Amino acid sequence: MRKKIIAGNWKMNMSFDEAEDLLFNIVDKLDPNLPKNIEVVVCPPAIFMELATDVADDSLMKIGGQNISNHESGAYTGEISASMLGSLEVDYCIIGHSERRKYFKESNQLIGEKVTVALKNGIKAIFCCGELLNEREAQNHFAIVKTQIEEALFHLDEKSFRSVVIAYEPVWAIGTGVNATPQQAQEMHAYIRKLISGKYGAEIADITTILYGGSCNSQNAKELFANPDVDGGLIGGASLDAEEFLKIINSI
């Protein structure tokens, strides 16, 4: 059975005290009988990572980073390496988020290097892909996502690919309040699974977790997650409120 995941991307939000409150609120209210195939991942800003892994210790909550360097170590002022995250027992890292692509000019090639370095250090990658609005309007959305996946992931061998989670996040849906329809999400997720099957075979495609992200909230989560190829969500704004995030978790 493939894993289902609800991951919260806090982006650049929260003070230390707010982060502590939110982390404890999530951990304290997580259903202790959460089915074994469902994972909850919280991705706070890097400065709160040690706090987050401490709070998450012995709980059902896993912790993820939001970004890492493509370099292993060395003179890269301000950067955070995969091995640093690993040393704090961080399980996941979001890689290739559209905000990184847009504001930090991350290319598919660079994102691919980050995925490689994450996996090498035992960090599972939550790899983000998705088209811009004008690309969808021009009916180019499948081609764009195909290129993003091929250029950033398909250098991986089969064993490494097993540690990749894909998040389909149409850029026009991120932070806009306009989510993809369940049909649009399912159609793209099925397409992504077919791409994976073509490269790694049906068995790997079948166990790959593919998340939907983009204005997912407690109102629309159930309908989105009901699709056969939607294995959970990457949640931005709605993950900043414990009640709302827990409702989304309970929608899966």
Burial of 17 (0-12, 13-18, 19+ CB in 10 A): exposed
The question of whether 189 is a catalytic residue gets the answer: no
3-state secondary structure at position 196: helix
Q: Which of 113, 169, 189, 244 is catalytic?
A: 169
| 237 part of the interface to ligand PEP, by CB under 6 A | yes
Among residues 46, 47, 44, 45, the alpha carbon closest in space to that of 61 is found at 44
Helical axes 141-153 vs 182-200, angle rounded to 10°: 40
Query: Residue ranges of the alpha helices (H) in the chain?
Result: 16-29, 49-56, 82-87, 98-103, 108-120, 133-137, 141-153, 158-161, 182-200, 202-207, 221-225, 242-249
| 112 part of the interface to ligand PEP, by CB under 6 A | no
| 235 part of the interface to ligand PEP, by CB under 6 A | yes
Q: What is the Cα–Cα distance from 205 to 137, expressed in whole angstroms?
A: 28
Site string for ligand PEP, 208-227 (x = CB under 6 A): -----xxxx-----------
Q: Which of 97, 106, 135, 189 is catalytic?
A: 97
Alpha carbon separation from 66 to 119, 121, 218 (Å, rounded): 15, 16, 22
- 142-171 residues near ligand PEP, rule: CB under 6 A: 169
| 9 part of the interface to ligand PEP, by CB under 6 A | yes
With CB under 6 A as the rule, give the number of residues binding ligand PEP.
13
- To ligand PEP, the closest distance from the beta carbon of 117 in angstroms equals 21
Nearer to ligand PEP, 112 or 213 (CB): 213
Site string for ligand PEP, 168-187 (x = CB under 6 A): -x----xx------------
* Contact footprint for ligand PEP (CB under 6 A): 9, 169, 174-175, 213-216, 234-238
Active site residues: 97, 169
